[in-house]
Amino acid sequence: MGNNGGMDIIIVSGMSGSGKNTVNKIIEDFGYFCIDNMPAELITELLNVYAKKPDQNKRISLTLDIRDKKNVNRITQVINTLKSSPELTCRVIFLDASDDIIISRYKETRRIHPLVLSGSLSLKDALTIEREYMAPIRNAADYVLDTSFLKISQAREIVAKMIGVKYSAELVISCMSFGYKYGLPQEADLVIDARCLPNPYYVPELKEHNGLEACVYDYVTSFDQTKQFIAKTTEFLSYLIPMYIEEGKAHLTIAVGCTGGKHRSVSMVRAICENLSDAGYVTNAVHRDLNRE
């Protein structure tokens, strides 16, 4: 293998249904370029190609599993070669879970185990055979992680420690104003409708201004129903947000809409951001349709 320029390679393997896709997404969030179901015979070639590109991301995560069962011996050979190379860092994370949990997950997702798909086997028998196939990779692993009862937030913290990256449990909250006339924002986790509030658009001296300006903001927030709207919305979000944090969500987008996305929604985003910031949450305001004609 040629000079790989200090590459950092993570290999994620393990039992089918143990959470490899979830862990792969966590690693991707930490800045790694992730490739799922990488054929073992192409790994060395891939790394050599990456090494020749000075501006290429040198942190790579590869997912290997039973779908490449004919090459399990080849996979272990590649792992041993990578680990012995002084030119790169290679760590192997093997994910596991109890048979009962894996079977339950397959029932929930209605997916088919690769060995069941390729032969006349029950899921239980397929798992037994898979454990035999995967034993050499498990033995070569630097870390074995049992995901049977692991929450995503716990997995993110554990994986961060395994691969040596800085982990922050802070939830970043984006509050987005938008106009319903331009469509709902696809990235929104929660959508709040502010069209029930008094509309500055129909006040001639306010029509050409927007919710970032004091004249519009003061007008919208001067009404009792607006004050209750802000208070009850903040109370609702204060109830939900800790549960999102508990589930390990890293980014929450709260979209507040009015007709055009210039007056009421912008004002409400400002008020909600201020209240959430005062409560200690990390927030940022985005105004999707503010500058539309």
- Tally of domains within the chain: 2
pLDDT value, residue 253: 96
Q: How far apart are CA 76 and CA 40, in angstroms?
A: 9
pLDDT value, residue 68: 60
Predicted model pTM: 0.66
pLDDT value, residue 284: 93
pLDDT value, residue 71: 66
Range list of H helices, the chain: 20-29, 43-51, 72-84, 99-109, 114-118, 123-140, 152-163, 214-220, 224-246, 264-278
Q: Are residues 102 and 77 in the same domain?
A: yes
Averaged pLDDT, groups of 10, the chain, 293 residues long: 68 93 90 86 83 76 77 81 89 95 90 77 90 91 95 87 81 94 95 97 95 97 97 96 85 96 97 94 94 82
pLDDT value, residue 171: 85
Given 138, 163, 188, the domain boundary residue is: 163
Q: Are residues 134 and 249 in the same domain?
A: no
pLDDT value, residue 58: 83
Tell me which DSSP letter residue 148 carries.
T
Instruction: Give the CATH number of the domain where residue 77 resides.
Output: 3.40.50.300
pLDDT value, residue 3: 44
- Give 176's strand partners: 255, 286
Q: Are residues 76 and 158 in the same domain?
A: yes
Give the range of the structural domain holding residue 66, as residue numbers without chain letter: 7-163
